[in-house]
Amino acid sequence: MDSPLAETPREKLEAWLRYYDDLNLGEFFVDRRIMGKRSVELPVVRPQQTAPAAAPGATPAAATSAIRNTPPAALPVVQAASLFEAIDRVEGDTLELIRENLGECTRCRLHEQRNKIVFGAGNARAELVFVGEGPGHDEDVQGLPFVGRAGKLLTQMIEAMGLAREDVYICNVVKCRPPENRKPEDDEVATCSPYLYRQLEVIGPKAIVCLGGVAAQTLLKTKDPISRFRGNWFDFRNTKLLATYHPAYLLRNPSAKSEVWKDLQKVMTLLGLRPPKTSR
Ligand code: SF4
């Protein structure tokens, strides 16, 4: 008699599929684009949570359910957080400790021309965190995030959501102004972003909104252009994350404001927010 352990590969596969069928997991996806490239990477997650249209009056629970039930869409593959990022979690961490650790940072070349480090500002217990790219001229002068023209527009967006700036937390991927407002280089992002990860870990928001491609690409570990995944929900370390256009882009392209507002309405639905009543 054959040993019960002497299964053929086909029998093993059938048993494995039956097991997952019992768990009600009926579909499997293998992304062939990443096959053969995963020698040292953690599992790849597919950001299939295409956000549902914000139903008027929908509860956060209904929105979450809709996210879960939305079928996978053709979206970019996003890698899970790396082991190196995982060790950025510091026992007993606080925003004050992170700022202290940062000190008068000279870890990357962006320190050379900066005036002030722009650490971040807002509610340390915020349910909503906005992450931008890096400080601009006004931010560099004042040491505060989003205080220039784009910052004013961000404030309007926050208030349109029924919140005040003090209710949310606002920070950037890099904390020093890149010269001539250029995009931060990969090595600068890699050097500075661990402090951002620690900030997000300490605050523990319900939602993160990435403003612009650099913030979204940094947190989602993708090089895909933001236009490919803007307005979709992703999981970032058990927090819902959505990318939308940067307010500076909206200043140059006002017609994109309606798209951003749709994105923010999805965030409002998730957080159970309603826009303030206006008297007309
Ligand atoms: S951008 Fe970040 S890592 Fe670079 S010098 Fe400034 S604080 Fe330090």
Distance, CA 111 to ligand 1 centroid (Å)? 6
Nearest residue by C-alpha to atom 6 in ligand 1? 176
Distance, CA 202 to ligand 1 centroid (Å)? 19
| pLDDT, the chain, mean | 79
Ligand 1 neighbours by CB, cut-off 6 Å: 102, 105-108, 110-111, 117, 174-176, 188, 191-192
Question: pLDDT band for position 229 (50/70/90)?
Answer: very high
User: For ligand 1, what atom is nearest to the CA of residue 191?
Assistant: 3
Strands 128-132, 121-122: pairing kind: unpaired
User: For ligand 1, what atom is nearest to the CA of residue 111?
Assistant: 5
User: Rounded distance, CA 217 to CA 225, Å?
Assistant: 8
Whether the CB-CB separation of 175 and 117 falls below 8 Å is answered with yes
- The rounded Cα 223 to chain-centroid distance in angstroms is 14
**Structure confidence by residue, pLDDT tens digits, 69-113:** 443 344 444 444 444 454 457 889 999 999 999 999 999 999 999
pLDDT of residue 122: 98
- When computed from its CA atoms, the radius of gyration of the chain, rounded to whole angstroms, is 21
Distance, CA 164 to ligand 1 centroid (Å)? 28
The torsion angles phi and psi of 266, rounded to 5 degrees, stand at -65, -40
Give the N- to C-terminal CA distance of the chain in Å, as an integer.
Answer: 85
pLDDT of residue 13: 54
Nearest residue by C-alpha to atom 4 in ligand 1? 108
Here the tokens at position 255 are 């017609």
Dihedral sign from CA coordinates of 131, 137, 142, 146:
negative
**Percentage with pLDDT > 90 across the chain:** 65
**Percentage with pLDDT > 70 across the chain:** 67
Burial class of 278 by CB neighbour count within 10 A (0 to 12, 13 to 18, 19+): exposed
* Higher-pLDDT residue of 2, 171: 171
Ligand 1 mutation target, pool 98, 102, 171, 198, most atoms within 8 A of CB: 102
Distance, CA 110 to ligand 1 centroid (Å)? 6
Distance, CA 112 to ligand 1 centroid (Å)? 10
pLDDT of residue 50: 40
Ligand 1 mutation target, pool 88, 108, 198, most atoms within 8 A of CB: 108
Question: pLDDT band for position 234 (50/70/90)?
Answer: very high
User: For ligand 1, what atom is nearest to the CA of residue 184?
Assistant: 1
Answer yes or no: is pLDDT of 193 > 90.
yes
